């Protein structure tokens, strides 16, 4: 048994090692797992080889001259400096090559733009610095935050295999179905990219962009935000899990149920400790990026909450700024990003953590009423 | 009356004024040219040291040296300083020095404006660089400053950035007006347009591009200013504006801008390749037409920077086709250079080394540009390191090597001494190796999926980033050698004859080296 196990380990290592080594030296685009990404890959390789061929000819002539037509070899210069036939020829030939290249590119583009007849619609909203996925037909939504611990980024902990490319809640899609993505953003422009799908589209505040994919191979696919969106632009990965349809349906049912439970939590009677505990978690994902885990912020852009007048005294102002944000600044409106429970928990936490011991508490019901008054 | 004319005539025989006032009040095209070149080199070192911060942070995954906030300030300032502070002023400096000498004019047409357009630049960059020390830090939204990241979400220093850009724009426009006035009015008798040296042609066309697009840049930053301070909503959807409008306006400036940074180099390279091939330039007329075609087409391709913003299909197709078309005249230029070399009598002094490297590496940058033009493939390339590799390949061995080639080519004319050829060749080879080591692996990184403008990256990108950083350090350190070579050449060395390169052609080689403070007081005759 032991020998077998050892062999199995050795074999696995032997199989895996080249893969990991290869991955670190990846030099080319991935063919990906969708028909779009495959077509893009083919276009990419075609144009690459055309460039290489032109390069070989042009640089070939040049290197021949560099080698053979040297003054140091006593080569006497010719004196020709014009030839209309040649000029016309090297205008027409590249033009023909480009036309030949434009035809398949156009066909692919037309297909990429066909977002009709989708089976699943998912609305993706970019926030500084996380993604929200909303399953429009199924009435639930969630946020997807990077889950790589700060300790790994600060080099205090060994970096994991999917360093910076892992999230708490991946977006789940069924394989073999046409999934349409509707993209928008809440603050600045973001861009949603999964290389293996050949899908990249900007998420623009105030506008909705469309794109689609159909993945045939189940698996986990990783990408990143590709439009500079501020401080943590490098820390908002995209993770997509493509699963078989049955599994997808089970997952959707679970999500719907969880969303329902969450809505009921608003009705519950909360204690200060419960809210503090929940608030600490919500604060870590939603607020700590700017205001820092210890509440000291990064002034002047991100003010400190620890000892701030608003967190200590002005409760109405505190609720308002968290729910509605502060226009013209980086402070977002969290009213639609967080549930009533989380809003109440975060505000309660901010009023009681880091020595802000006000002892005051805001309940989910109060938040619910506040939002309804507006 | 005659006495006045006499003293005036005598003044012309005086050399330059002494002390600081020579530089502050000078209207001499050679002094102003030198100041432009020195300023540009200082900015090159400053922008370069910011690139070193970027490459040092990216040497390894994780955050080691700077915070993401500061990293973004570095990428932004690096881009702005290199584009507006290093490359553009260097070409204006070359134009100031060489255009009057090449067309047989005594000076630029508008010498006082010339002085002003230079002295605006240090002011603009003082403002820009001072933002680094302001509360909230320097601009951190990339040199493309996309709204609303640069408006609603920008740091307080954005306003200073806007005014700096305005001042740079004023300076560029005045410089361009001066070039056009000089070239159109002050050519020596007999020098028809189609007899002008190519550097003059490319600069004339560049000047028209500048006048066309710098006001667009001024417009877009003014719209930002209004959005930030005066309650307009040009780029704010919640007030009825459109963030994508920003990108259209910006790139309508931005794409001609990339040709502004390369066309003068095309001109200079044409002279150098012909001189060191000891053979006339192949296809002079087609070169002129190609530059004209590139300039006109540069106004029709801007949205290829925006293939992922969700333009309608027809828009995507138009900009893809137009962008592919622009490769044709660019190809013509490369073919002409290679044919000029073909069956020449080649020698490889420093200017020629930089020129040959220019042709090869700029062509590689052109190839990746062609790939980026394929709209469907651009969905994979867009905003990755592939793009970073592409534009550094056209800007470093394109614009910067073009400037180095020109500097070595004309240094004997400027200083009266030959530069140290061995050191110059060392400068070339170290720059060549360093530059390729720094930027070639970026192609691989981009294709493998690394987005641009990130301070930290996933582990599979580690190796190529390390190589790239090593190359970048090497390239940067080498540029101090260039400073040493130039200082050495200014201080002395082997005396340069009026025409130090046996294959060189043109009026600038008919005046002694160093070129006297006043040249062509009476215009030469061109046959």
**Which residue reads 């036939």 in tokens?**
A85
Is the confidence at residue A179, as pLDDT, over 90? yes
Query: What pLDDT is stored for residue B6 in this prediction?
Result: 42
Query: What are the catalytic residues of B?
Result: 78, 107, 143, 171-172, 255, 257, 259, 270, 304-305, 330, 333, 452
CATH code of residue A130: 2.60.40.420
Q: Nearest-CA distance from B286 to chain A in Å?
A: 8
* Cβ pairs A/B, distance under 8 A: 290
More confident residue, A372 or B26: B26
Question: Do residues A297 and A327 both lie within one domain?
Answer: yes
Helix (H, G, I), strand (E, B) or coil at B299: coil
Whether A113 contacts chain B with CB within 8 A: yes
Inter-chain CB proximity A109 and B371 less than 8 Å: no
Q: What is the largest CA-CA distance in chain B?
A: 80
Cα-based angle B288, B292, B295 (whole degrees, multiple of 5):
140
End of a domain among A257, A288, A313? A257
- For B434, how many CA atoms within 13 A lie in the half-sphere containing its CB? 18
Q: Which of B152, B243, B457 sits opposite A164 (nearest CB)?
A: B457
Confidence of residue A200 (pLDDT cuts 50, 70, 90): very high
Q: Distance between CA atoms of B88 and B393, rounded to whole angstroms?
A: 17
Cβ–Cβ < 8 Å for A194, A222: yes
Q: What is the pLDDT of residue B509?
A: 97
A320 phi and psi angles, rounded to 5 deg: -65, -45
Is residue A334, in this structure, part of any structural domain at all? Answer: yes
Residues A288 and A305 in one domain: yes
A327 CB contacts (<8 Å, ≥6 apart)?
none
Give, in degrees to the nearest 5, the angle at Cα A311 between B156 and A285: 75
Cα B112 to chain center, whole Å? Answer: 24
Number of CB atoms found within 10 A of residue A249's CB? 12
**Record: contact A228-B360, CB cut-off 8 A:** no
Strand A130-135, strand A237-243: pairing = unpaired
Q: What is the mean pLDDT of residues A329-350?
A: 87
Residues 119-178 of B with CB under 8 A from A: 135-136, 140-142, 146, 148-149, 152-153, 155-156
- Report yes or no on A18 lying in a domain: no
Low-confidence ranges of chain B (pLDDT < 50): 1-11
Interchain CB distance below 8 Å, B341 and A71: no
Q: Which residues of A5-27 are buried (b: 16+ CB within 10 A; e: fewer)?
A: eeeeeeeeeeeeeeeeeeeeebe
Q: Does A25 touch chain B (CB under 8 A)?
A: yes
Which of B246, B334, B376 should one mutate to test binding to chain A, selecting the residue with the greatest count of A CBs within 10 A? Answer: B376
- Among A257, A277, A294, the domain boundary falls at A257
State the pLDDT at residue B10.
Answer: 45
The CATH number of residue A291's host domain is 1.10.760.10
Measured over the CA atoms of residue A83, residue A85, residue A87 and residue A93, the dihedral's sign is: negative
Is A60 part of the contact surface with chain B (CB cutoff 8 Å)?
no
| Nearest residue of chain B to residue A26 (CA atoms) | B448
Contact B459 A206 (CB under 8 A): no
Contact B327, B373 (CB under 8 A): yes
The model's confidence at residue A302, banded by pLDDT at 50, 70 and 90, is: confident
Measured distance CA(A293)–CA(B110) in Å, rounded: 60
**What's the gap in Å between the CA of B118 and the closest CA on chain A?**
33
Is there a single domain that holds both residue A81 and residue A134?
Answer: no
pLDDT band per the 50, 70, 90 thresholds, residue A8: low
**Same domain, yes or no: A157 and A221:** yes
Whether residue A46 sits in one domain with residue A161: no
pLDDT for position B391: 97
CA atoms in the 13 A half-sphere facing the CB of A291 = 24
What counts of helices (H) and strands (E) characterise chain B?
18, 0
pLDDT for the residue A328 = 67
Closest CA to B342 of A94, A53, A70: A70
Residue A257, CA distances (Å) to A81, A91, A104, A168, A346 in order: 79, 65, 46, 19, 24
- B134 CA to chain A: closest CA distance, Å? 10
Q: Both A239 and A275 in a single domain?
A: no
Say if residue A188 is in the same domain as residue A301. no
- Model pLDDT for residues A118-163, shown as the tens digit of each residue: 999 999 999 999 999 999 999 899 999 999 999 999 999 999 999 9
**A61 touching chain B per CB within 8 A:** yes
**Domain count across chain A:** 3
Those residues whose C-beta lies under 8 Å from the C-beta of residue B16, and which sit 6 or more positions away, are B22, B26, B28, B31, B517
> Which tokens in the block code for residue A102?
């434009």
Domains of chain B: 26-187+197-252 (1.20.210.10), 262-510 (1.20.210.10)
Q: Is B320 on the interface with A (CB under 8 A)?
A: yes
Token duo for residue B467: 């190589």
pLDDT attached to residue B192: 96
Residue of A nearest to B143 (CA): A228
Q: Are residue A286 and residue A354 in the same domain, yes or no?
A: yes
Same domain membership, residue A334 and residue A284: yes
Say if residue A244 is in the same domain as residue A299: no
- Let me know if residue A16 belongs to a domain: no
Residue A100 lies in a domain: yes
Mind telling me how many Å the CA of A350 is from chain B's nearest CA? Answer: 24
CB contact under 8 Å between B149 and A188, yes or no, is: yes
Instruction: Summarize the confidence of residues A210-233 as an average pLDDT.
Output: 96
Q: What is the pLDDT of residue A331?
A: 86
The DSSP element (H or E) to which A241 belongs, if any, is: strand A237-243
Q: B411, B364 in Cβ contact below 8 A? A: no
How much is the pLDDT for A263? 79
* Total residues belonging to chain A: 374
Which tokens in the block code for residue B227? 């959005």
Q: Is B281's CB within 8 Å of A78's CB?
A: no
Among A212, A239, A257, where does a domain finish? A257
**Number of neighbours of residue A51 by Cβ within 10 angstroms:** 18
**Over 80: is that where the pLDDT of A6 sits?**
no
CA dihedral B99, B104, B106, B111 (to 10 degrees): -30
DSSP code of residue B19: S
β-strand partners of A212:
A180
What's phi and psi for A353, nearest 5 deg?
A: -85, 170
Task: Quickly count: other Cβ atoms within 10 Å of residue A268's Cβ.
Answer: 11
Q: What number of helices (H) and strands (E) belong to chain A?
A: 11, 10
Q: Check which CATH number belongs to the domain holding A79 and give it.
A: 1.10.287.90
Any domain includes A4:
no
- Within-domain flag for A19: no
In this predicted structure, which of A92-101, A308-317, B44-53 has the lowest mean pLDDT? A308-317
ipTM: 0.92
Domain range for A148: 120-257
Q: Give the bridge partners for A183, in sequence order.
A: A124, A209
- Closest residue in chain B to residue A193, using alpha carbons only: B380
Assess A106–B contact: CB distance below 8 Å, yes or no: yes
Same domain, A54 and A99: yes
Decide if A284 is inside a domain: yes
A281 and A350 fall within a common domain: yes
Tell me whether B449 touches chain A (CB under 8 Å): yes
């Amino acid at each position: 048994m032991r020998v077998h196990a050892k062999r199995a380990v050795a074999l696995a290592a032997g199989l895996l090692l080249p893969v990991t080594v290869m991955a670190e030296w990846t030099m080319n685009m991935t063919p990906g797992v969708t028909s779009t990404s495959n077509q893009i890959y083919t276009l990419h390789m075609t144009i690459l080889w055309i460039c290489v061929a032109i390069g070989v000819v042009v640089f070939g002539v040049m290197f021949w001259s560099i080698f053979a037509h040297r003054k140091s070899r006593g080569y006497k210069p010719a004196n020709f400096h014009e030839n209309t036939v040649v000029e016309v020829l090297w205008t027409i030939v590249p033009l023909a090559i480009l036309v030949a290249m434009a035809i398949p590119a156009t066909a692919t583009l037309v297909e990429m733009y066909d977002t009709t007849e989708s089976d699943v619609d998912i609305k993706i909203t970019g926030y500084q610095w996380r993604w929200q996925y909303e399953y429009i037909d199924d009435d639930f939504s969630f946020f997807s935050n990077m889950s790589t611990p700060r300790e790994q980024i600060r080099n205090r902990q060994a970096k994991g295999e999917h360093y910076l490319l892992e999230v708490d809640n991946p977006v789940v899609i069924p394989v073999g179905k046409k999934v349409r993505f509707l993209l928008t953003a809440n603050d600045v422009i973001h861009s949603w990219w999964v290389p293996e799908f050949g899908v990249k589209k900007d998420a623009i505040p105030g506008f909705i962009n469309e794109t689609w994919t159909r993945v045939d191979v189940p698996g986990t696919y990783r990408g990143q935000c590709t439009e500079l969106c501020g401080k943590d632009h490098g820390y908002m990965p995209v993770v997509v899990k493509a699963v078989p349809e049955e599994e997808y349906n089970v997952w959707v049912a679970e999500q719907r149920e969880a969303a329902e439970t969450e809505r009921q939590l608003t009705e519950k009677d909360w204690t200060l400790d419960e809210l503090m505990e929940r608030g600490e978690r919500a604060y870590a994902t939603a607020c700590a990026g700017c205001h820092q885990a210890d509440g000291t912020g990064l002034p002047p852009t991100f003010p400190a909450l620890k000892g701030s007048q608003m967190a200590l005294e002005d409760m109405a102002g505190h609720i308002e700024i968290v729910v509605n944000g502060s226009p013209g600044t980086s402070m977002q409106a969290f009213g639609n990003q967080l549930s009533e429970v989380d809003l109440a928990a975060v505000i309660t936490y901010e009023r009681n953590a880091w020595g802000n011991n006000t002892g005051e508490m805001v309940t989910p019901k109060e938040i619910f009423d506040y939002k309804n008054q507006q | 009356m005659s006495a006045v004319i006499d003293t005036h005539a005598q003044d012309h025989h005086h050399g330059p004024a002494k002390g600081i006032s020579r530089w502050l009040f000078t209207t001499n095209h050679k002094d102003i040219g030198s100041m432009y070149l020195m300023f540009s080199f200082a900015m090159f070192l400053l922008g370069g040291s910011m690139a070193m911060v970027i490459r040092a942070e990216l040497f390894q995954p994780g955050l080691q040296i700077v915070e993401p906030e500061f990293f973004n300030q570095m990428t932004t300032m690096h881009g702005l300083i290199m584009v507006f502070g290093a490359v553009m002023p260097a070409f204006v400096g070359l134009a100031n020095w060489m255009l009057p000498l090449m067309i047989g004019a005594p000076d630029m047409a508008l010498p006082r404006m010339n002085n002003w357009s230079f002295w605006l630049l240090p002011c603009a960059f003082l403002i820009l660089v001072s933002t680094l020390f302001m509360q909230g830090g320097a601009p951190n939204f990339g040199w493309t400053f996309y709204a609303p990241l640069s408006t609603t979400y920008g740091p307080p220093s954005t306003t200073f950035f806007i005014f700096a850009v305005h001042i740079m724009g004023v300076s560029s426009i005045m410089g361009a007006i001066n070039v056009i006035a000089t070239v159109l009015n002050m050519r020596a008798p007999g020098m028809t347009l189609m007899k002008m040296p190519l550097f003059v042609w490319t600069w004339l066309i560049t000047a028209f591009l500048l006048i066309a697009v710098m006001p667009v840049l001024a417009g877009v930053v003014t719209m930002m200013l209004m959005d930030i301070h005066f309650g307009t909503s040009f780029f704010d959807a919640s007030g009825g504006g459109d963030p994508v409008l920003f990108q259209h306006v910006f790139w309508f400036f931005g794409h001609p801008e990339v040709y502004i940074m390369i066309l003068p180099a095309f001109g200079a390279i044409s002279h150098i390749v012909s001189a060191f091939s000891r053979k006339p330039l192949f296809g002079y007329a087609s070169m002129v037409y190609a530059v004209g075609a590139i300039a006109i087409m540069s106004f029709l391709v801007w949205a290829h920077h925006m293939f992922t913003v969700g333009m309608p299909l027809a828009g995507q197709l138009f900009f893809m086709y137009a962008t592919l078309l622009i490769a044709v005249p660019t190809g013509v230029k490369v073919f002409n250079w290679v044919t000029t070399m073909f069956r020449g009598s080649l020698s490889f002094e420093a200017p020629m080394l930089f020129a040959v490297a220019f042709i090869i590496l700029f062509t590689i940058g052109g190839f990746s540009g062609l790939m980026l033009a394929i709209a469907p493939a651009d969905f994979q390339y867009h905003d990755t390191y592939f793009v970073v590799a592409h534009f550094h390949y056209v800007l470093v061995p394109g614009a910067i090597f073009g400037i180095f080639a020109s500097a070595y080519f004309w240094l004997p004319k400027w200083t009266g001494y030959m530069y140290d050829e061995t050191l110059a060749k060392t400068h070339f080879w170290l720059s060549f190796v360093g530059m390729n080591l720094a930027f070639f692996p970026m192609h691989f990184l981009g294709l493998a999926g690394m987005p641009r403008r990130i301070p930290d990256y996933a582990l599979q990108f580690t190796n190529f980033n390390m190589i790239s950083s090593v190359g970048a350090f090497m390239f940067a350190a080498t540029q101090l050698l260039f400073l040493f070579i130039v200082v050495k050449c200014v201080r002395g060395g082997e005396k340069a004859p009026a025409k130090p390169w046996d294959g060189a052609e043109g009026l600038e080689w008919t005046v002694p080296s160093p070129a006297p403070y006043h040249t062509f007081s009476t215009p030469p005759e061109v046959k």
